[in-house]
Amino acid sequence: NEPAGYATGQLYTRYKNMKVEWRAFVSLGRSGIAGFGLYAKRDIDMNQMVIEYVGEVIRSEICEIREKMYSQKNKGIYMFRIDSDYVIDATMSGNLARYINHSCDPNCYTQIVTIDNDKKIVIFAGRPIKAGEELTYDYQFELEDTEDKIPCLCGAPNCVKWMN
């Protein structure tokens, strides 16, 4: 579960540092991709931990119920699957990570790391990122042939036009 070349102990320390410093590295702004987006406030190194995707830890069955409820209320759905049993729901409570948009050519990647026996979703920089760049990661949505396909507006040269 760790980026190549980092010992577990280092991951723990890096995680704890990130939890203290992340606000200095990111800021919310209007996104060119969709609604709001998260931007780098300063240069970010490759493989640096940027932010944790925080929210309510819910079971898959509860996730199904909530998705229907949020859709009925036309609420934007902010969720991230942590494993086969649990999902992080950041729709009603979470942090700024919920605003990071999808891109087919992302500058960040996500990793599940285990800290103090808890699984955490952490977003890492996939390459050196300049201050002012919008942070993106691949949402890794399952490809679906349903009628509710979500168009992708990332604008990347390799964009595949659909997010799911």
Partner 1 sequence: QVVISTNDRAHQLEVSDDRLTVTGKDGYAVARATHFILYGKWYYEVELLDQPEGSHTRIGWCQQLASLQACLGYNQFSYSWRSKKGTRFHNAIGRTYSKEDYRVGDVLGCLIELPERD
Partner 2 sequence: YAAYAPDFKEIGENMEYQEKESEFDVYDE
In the shown chain, the binding pattern of residues 20 to 59 toward partner 1, with x for contact by CB under 8 A and - for none, equals ---------------------------------------x
In the shown chain, the binding pattern of residues 53 to 72 toward partner 1, with x for contact by CB under 8 A and - for none, equals ------xxxx----------
Q: Considering the complex, what minimum distance in angstroms separates the CB of residue 126 from partner 2?
A: 23
Tell me the CA end-to-end span of the chain in Å, nearest whole number. 25
Query: Is residue 9 within 8 Å of residue 114, measured between CB atoms?
Result: no
Q: Name the 3-class secondary structure at 18.
A: helix
Q: How far is CA 127 from the centre of its chain?
A: 16
Q: What is the CA radius of gyration of the chain?
A: 16
With binding defined as CB under 8 A, does residue 85 bind partner 1? yes
With binding defined as CB under 8 A, does residue 118 bind partner 1? no
Q: Considering the complex, what minimum distance in angstroms separates the CB of residue 112 from partner 1?
A: 19
What is the spatial distance between Cα 22 and Cα 31, in angstroms, rounded to a whole number?
19
Number of other CB atoms surrounding residue 126 within 10 Å: 19
Which positions touch partner 2 (CB under 8 A)? 19, 28, 36, 54-59, 61-62, 65, 76, 88-89, 92-96, 118, 120
Binding stretches for partner 1 (CB under 8 A): 59-62, 85
